[in-house]
């Protein structure tokens, strides 16, 4: 996979992309990430990327020319998804991460200031993504969040092939509680079942814990997933016990 990122602040990306899973995915050539400074795609002496809004008002708006020039230079004749990071976009979630992970290439545009010229939205961008209902100072942190969630989906990006599938949200449920050594810490033990060596029993306990945790913390998620009749009965019983 190749990801091109257009930004006014290329230095923001060093650090997050130089560590851990993203670094390993880059080293293993599962992904290449190219950061472009938007100013490199200006054609005036002052390398101007923004201007005041027509009609007046505060702040600055990103000009269309450098964005079109950058995207056209990167994609040539190819059809590549162009994604604008903006609080006005569709909400990013695990499903969206899985969808983006199927692309061979994508271009991410980090918006800034008061926004981007609307013609960019209408004629250049194919998708708009928000990482949550709050306003960041720019799309850079949002782009890093998207890249991280997408890259960890790529086969081989994680140490063990199974890990991505067991993340919270991968199944549509929150993840079950995890424990590691010591077996007793400050007097607090580990659930017996995890020490039993009985893998079927452990799998059943984990599934129940995922269901319970999701019921208690994010009941909205339960509406979107397919549960067995047995799981539905289990949750109904727990929900009834919880409301008593």
Q: Is 9 exposed, middle or buried (0-12, 13-18, 19+ CB in 10 A)?
A: middle
139 binds ligand ADE (CB under 6 A): yes
Catalytic residue among 64, 87, 128, 207: 87
87 binds ligand ADE (CB under 6 A): yes
Residue 151 corresponds to which tokens in the numbers above? 């890259």
Contact 129, 83 (CB under 8 A): yes
Least Å from the CB of residue 112 to ligand ADE: 8
136 binds ligand ADE (CB under 6 A): yes
Q: How far is CA 12 from the centre of its chain?
A: 17
- Please say if 53 is a catalytic residue: no
131 binds ligand ADE (CB under 6 A): yes
Residue 38 corresponds to which tokens in the numbers above? 């938007």
132 binds ligand ADE (CB under 6 A): yes
Count of residues touching ligand ADE (by CB under 6 A): 13
130 binds ligand ADE (CB under 6 A): yes
- Please say if 192 is a catalytic residue: no
The window from 11-19, 20-28, 69-77, 126-134 that contacts ligand ADE (CB under 6 A) reads 126-134
SS3 34: strand
CA distance linking residue 119 with residue 138, whole number of Å: 19
Catalytic residue among 65, 99, 114, 208: 114
Instruction: Number of helices (H) and strands (E) in the chain: give both, helices first.
Output: 10, 8
Among 135, 184, 200, 241, binds ligand ADE (CB under 6 A): 135
Q: Is 214 exposed, middle or buried (0-12, 13-18, 19+ CB in 10 A)?
A: buried
Among 5, 85, 109, 149, binds ligand ADE (CB under 6 A): 85
CA distance linking residue 11 with residue 112, whole number of Å: 15
5 binds ligand ADE (CB under 6 A): no
- Please say if 133 is a catalytic residue: no
- Please say if 152 is a catalytic residue: yes
Q: Is 14 exposed, middle or buried (0-12, 13-18, 19+ CB in 10 A)?
A: exposed
Give the residues lining the site for ligand ADE (CB under 6 A): 85-87, 111, 130-132, 134-136, 138-139, 142
Task: Write out the catalytic residue numbers.
Answer: 87, 114, 152, 167
């Amino acid at each position: 996979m190749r990801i091109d990122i257009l930004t006014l602040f290329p230095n923001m990306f060093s650090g997050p992309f130089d560590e851990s899973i993203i670094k390993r995915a880059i080293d293993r050539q599962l992904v290449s990430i190219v950061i472009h400074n938007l100013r490199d795609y200006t054609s005036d002496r002052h390398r101007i990327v923004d201007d005041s809004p027509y009609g007046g008002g505060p702040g600055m708006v990103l000009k269309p020319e450098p964005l079109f020039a950058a995207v056209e230079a990167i994609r040539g004749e190819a059809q590549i998804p162009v994604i604008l990071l903006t609080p006005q976009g569709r909400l990013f979630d695990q499903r969206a991460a899985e969808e983006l992970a199927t692309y061979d290439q994508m271009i991410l545009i980090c918006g800034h200031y008061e926004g981007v010229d609307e013609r960019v939205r209408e004629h250049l961008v194919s998708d708009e993504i928000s990482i949550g209902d709050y306003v960041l100072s720019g799309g850079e942190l949002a782009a890093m969040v998207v890249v991280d969630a997408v890259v960890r989906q790529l086969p081989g990006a994680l140490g063990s092939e199974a890990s991505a599938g067991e993340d919270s949200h991968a199944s549509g449920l929150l993840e079950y509680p995890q424990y590691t050594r010591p077996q007793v810490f400050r007097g607090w033990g580990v659930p017996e079942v995890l020490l039993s060596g009985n893998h079927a029993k452990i799998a059943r306990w984990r599934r129940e814990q995922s269901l319970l945790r999701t019921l208690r913390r994010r009941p909205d998620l339960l509406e979107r997933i397919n549960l067995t009749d047995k799981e539905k009965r289990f949750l109904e019983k727990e929900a009834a016990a919880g409301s008593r």
